[in-house]
Structure 1
Amino acid sequence: MSKFSDSIVNQRFVQVYKLLEDKHLIRGKSDLAKHLGTYNHVINSILQGKRNLTVDQIHQLCDTYEIDANYLFGLDVPPFMANPGSERELPTGGTNEMVNNGRQNIKLVPQKALAGYALDFQAPTYFQELPSFSIPGMSGELLAFPVSGDSMLPTITNGDLVICEALEKPLDGTFPVIRDNEVYVIVSDVVVVKRIQQLKTDGLVTQLRLISDNASVYQPYQLDLEEIKQVLRVKRRLTDHAIS
């Protein structure tokens, strides 16, 4: 083993690589290499202690995966600035909070209409036909989506409703107010509820990584920004299940 293996940065990089794999945030060396702007054999050489990480690679690693640079340089701090893939709590209430009086500012997209939402949500008349309700304390123009399946267990359960606010998509196609590792509804050709992370190329966000909380069953995947029609921040979860 060469002297490169003695570098604390390289030693910590090996640990970070294992963490990223364990959290299903990367799919092997080639995936990581792509996001660090390098090649599979370069990552392999660094892991084997045959070469050092470059300053640019360190910057990309920290920026893309929210790695704390202090950790890479040997300080006794957590490896992540945030906690990718973690199960952050959502504000939760019961479906009995839904009322049919007041402003009725929340439009409900029923399960039967969910498949067509991606095609029709930009039509001026689409929302006129949707049922509406209100929740005390929640203001603004909001949308409610039913959740089916188990991909977001235990945070969100099959049959729950998520109350969301749509984010405006600027002309450059980015969503600057997105916060990594929070829960969003993502609309592409389908409508899904996931945690997301922003992936950058040359300092610009080019993809979103979609992460299920039920990570032992569902693997994360990437969408190019061009594929994404709408992003909605989940503000509240309504459930019929017992609230702990």
Structure 2
Amino acid sequence: MILAKNLKFLRSESGLTQSELAEKLDLQRTMISAYEDGRSEPKLSTLAILSELFVVSIDELLHHDIQQYGRRLNQNKNIKILTIATDDQDRENITMVGQKASAGYLNGFADPEYMESLPQFHIPTLSRNSTYRAFELSGDSMLPLVPGTVIIGSYVEQLRDIKSGKTYVLVTSTEGVVYKRVFNYLDENGKLFLVSDNEHYKPYEVKGADVLEIWEAKAFISTDFPNPKDKTKPVSLEDISQMILDLRSEIVRLK
């Protein structure tokens, strides 16, 4: 019922009637009434419009009691809506974000014209139930994947859906576009721990509020075949867990 309560509160706070809100969403007034009574829930596309209209994240709409606790601080910034590209058969393309395009992507990922200017392709074996994006690696922090490897990620809408230990491409306002193994401690301190598979790189933390997009790694494309004589060994999950414990102990000590 959090969503229903939030919609009613935000509509009233904005001085909109149910009919006026329905017009903005291109819906019947009775549908707005159903949303606010908890008898029905908006589709994702409708949630995206509501997010932009009320300047609030979808995650906050669904899970945070805005009337009781107030708006989260990170909602003062502009909300970005996921922009996708389609082909002439209305199928979603996979948009490719190369190394050189990464910096521009931070400013252009919500701009349809910018997104259309990036390379696009299809992979028939991927499920059509997800939206995908491809990102080219620029460093060696995730060995054995080498620079130039293309990571294909599936869009993750909610921060809480990040599964600790899996790898993700995160688009952040502080670190830019990064590909890391992520550990989710949002419930404890509102932060994510980002860990490299190359043991020469130390883990670090990112505030959940600084994350703009999340893409769960589903596949990769590389022209570099593994070398059986390569003695470079990626860090193990046991090593990662120990690094996380050490980092958190150090943070507690510094506080």
Counterparts of residues 19-168 of structure 1 (less than 5 Å): 105-140=93-128, 141-154=131-144, 156-168=145-157
Quote the Cα distance in structure 2 between the aligned partners of 1:160 and 1:131. Answer: 16
Q: Percent identity among equivalent residues? A: 35
Partner of 1:207: 191
Quote the Cα distance in structure 1 between the aligned partners of 2:92 and 2:209. Answer: 33
Residue 204 of structure 1: how far off its partner (Å): 4.5
TM-align CA RMSD? 2.4
Quote the Cα distance in structure 1 between the aligned partners of 2:224 and 2:88. Answer: 24
SS of 2:103's equivalent? helix
Question: In 1, are the aligned partners of 2:97 and 2:134 still within 8 Å (CA)?
Answer: yes
Look up the equivalent residue of 1:162 and give its one-letter code: I
Summarize deviations over 1:58-91 as a string: whole Å, max 9, x none.
xxxxxxxxxxxxxxxxxxxxxxxxxxxxxxxxxx
Quote the Cα distance in structure 2 between the aligned partners of 1:105 and 1:205. Answer: 36
Look up the equivalent residue of 2:147 and give its one-letter code: N
Residue 101 of structure 1: how far off its partner (Å): 11
SS of 2:161's equivalent? coil
Question: In 1, are the aligned partners of 2:171 and 2:213 still within 8 Å (CA)?
Answer: yes
Quote the Cα distance in structure 2 between the aligned partners of 1:101 and 1:241. Answer: 33
Which of 215, 218, 222 is residue 235 of structure 1 equivalent to? 218
Summarize deviations over 1:84-130 as a string: whole Å, max 9, x none.
xxxxxxxxxxxxxxxx9995721111222111112211223332222
Runs of 4+, deviation exceeding 4 Å: 100-104
Higher relative contact order (CA 8 A, sep 6+): 1
Q: Does 2:198 align with 1:198? A: no
Answer 1 or 2: which has greater helix percent.
2
Look up the equivalent residue of 1:132 and give its one-letter code: Q
- Equivalent pairs counted in the alignment come to 136
Question: In 2, are the aligned partners of 1:198 and 1:205 still within 8 Å (CA)?
Answer: no
Question: In 1, are the aligned partners of 2:168 and 2:180 still within 8 Å (CA)?
Answer: yes
Contiguous gaps of at least 5 residues in structure 1: 1-99, 170-174
Give the TM-score normalised by structure 2.
Answer: 0.49
Quote the Cα distance in structure 2 between the aligned partners of 1:128 and 1:184. Answer: 23
SS of 1:122's equivalent? coil
Partner of 1:172: none
Question: In 1, are the aligned partners of 2:142 and 2:197 still within 8 Å (CA)?
Answer: yes
Quote the Cα distance in structure 2 between the aligned partners of 1:104 and 1:124. Answer: 13
Question: In 2, are the aligned partners of 1:109 and 1:130 still within 8 Å (CA)?
Answer: yes
Look up the equivalent residue of 2:120 and give its one-letter code: S
Task: Call closer, same or farther: CA 1:104–1:239 in 2, change over 3 Å.
Answer: farther
Partner of 2:207: 224
Question: In 2, are the aligned partners of 1:107 and 1:130 still within 8 Å (CA)?
Answer: yes
Contiguous gaps of at least 5 residues in structure 2: 1-86, 229-255
Question: In 2, are the aligned partners of 1:104 and 1:132 still within 8 Å (CA)?
Answer: no
Partner of 1:178: 162
Quote the Cα distance in structure 2 between the aligned partners of 1:161 and 1:101. Answer: 25
Quote the Cα distance in structure 2 between the aligned partners of 1:134 and 1:124. Answer: 19
Look up the equivalent residue of 1:150 and give its one-letter code: D
